[in-house]
Amino acid sequence: MPYRILTALGLLSLTASVYAAEEDEDDPFFGAISFGYLATTGNTETTSFDTQAAATYRTELWEHEASGQAFRSSENKVTNAEYYTALWRSRRDLTERDFLFGRLNWRKDRFGAFDTQFSQTVGYGRRIFTGPVHTLNVEVGAGARQSEDQAGMSVNETIFLGALDYLWQFSETSSFSQIFTIEAGNENTFFESKSSVSAQLIGALALVASYTIRSNSDVPVATEKTDTQTGISLEYRF
C-alpha cells in the first residue's frame, strides 16, 4: 500500500511538472520524480524498479522539502524486498549562510535489521559554499528516534544528528552529489551515504546513477549491519 501511495503521488507530481516547466525560473516550487532500476545487497539481494520523488518550496526566509522512495521486489509472487522512506525538512534562514532546521525522517525496511526507524531532530546549519560550481551545506542537531526490529522489539532513544549535503556542478549539464547523514544514539548509530552523478539528456529529463550505503551499528542477531543500493534512473525535473 505505501508503494502505491508514493507512486500515485509521484504521478501527480509529474503531471504538475508539465505546467511548472512553463513557469518562470524563479518559481519558488520545484522538484523531481524518477523511475529506475535498483540492485540491493545486504539483508536483501535482489533487483527491481524503484520510484523516488522530491519537492521543495522556498520563500524569502523559509525552505520546505519533502522526499520519498519506494522499492519492492518479488519472485514467484513472493515478496523478497520492500523498502520505503519519507523525509520532511524545514529550514529558517538567520543570515545568508546560517539557518535553523527541523526534520522528520521515516524509514521502513520489511527485510532489514529494523522494520521501522522514525527520527525527529532540530538544529543549526550553515552554507559553507553557495555555488555556482560548488555547494556545501552542513547541519548539526539533536532529537529522538523510535526503532522497531523485525521481532517487534522497540527502542526509544535520544540521538545526535550530523548531516552534509554537497553538490559539484562540473559542467552545464552534469553534476555530482554527495549526501551524508548520521544519527548517533546510545543503543544504535545509523549512517547513510548517497553518491550520485546526474547528466541532463534533453530538456528537463536527466539520467542519474547512484550508490547508497545504509548501516546500523547494533542490529539483531542474524541480520546484516550494512545494506547497499545501486541504481540508475530517469529523472524528470520541474
Q: Which domains are seen in the chain, by residue range?
A: 2-237 (2.40.128.130)
Q: Which residue type occupies 128?
A: I
Residue 4: per-residue pLDDT: 40
All 3 cell numbers of residue 17? 511538472
- Complete DSSP assignment for 88-151: EEEEEESSSSEEEEEEEEEEEETTSSEEEEEEEEEEEEEEEEE-SSEEEEEEEEEEEEEEEETT
pTM of the model: 0.86
In this predicted structure, the answer to whether residue 21 has a pLDDT above a threshold of 80 is: no
CA 174/CA 45 separation, integer angstroms: 30
C-alpha cell at 68: 520519498
Of all residues in the chain, the percent with pLDDT exceeding 70 is 89
pLDDT band at 127 (very low <50, low <70, confident <90, very high): very high
Integer Cα distance of 135 and 129 in angstroms: 5
Q: What is the average per-residue pLDDT within 108-127? A: 96
pLDDT of residue 74: 86
Torsion sign, CA atoms 227, 230, 236, 238:
positive
Q: How much of the chain, in percent, has pLDDT values that exceed 90? A: 82
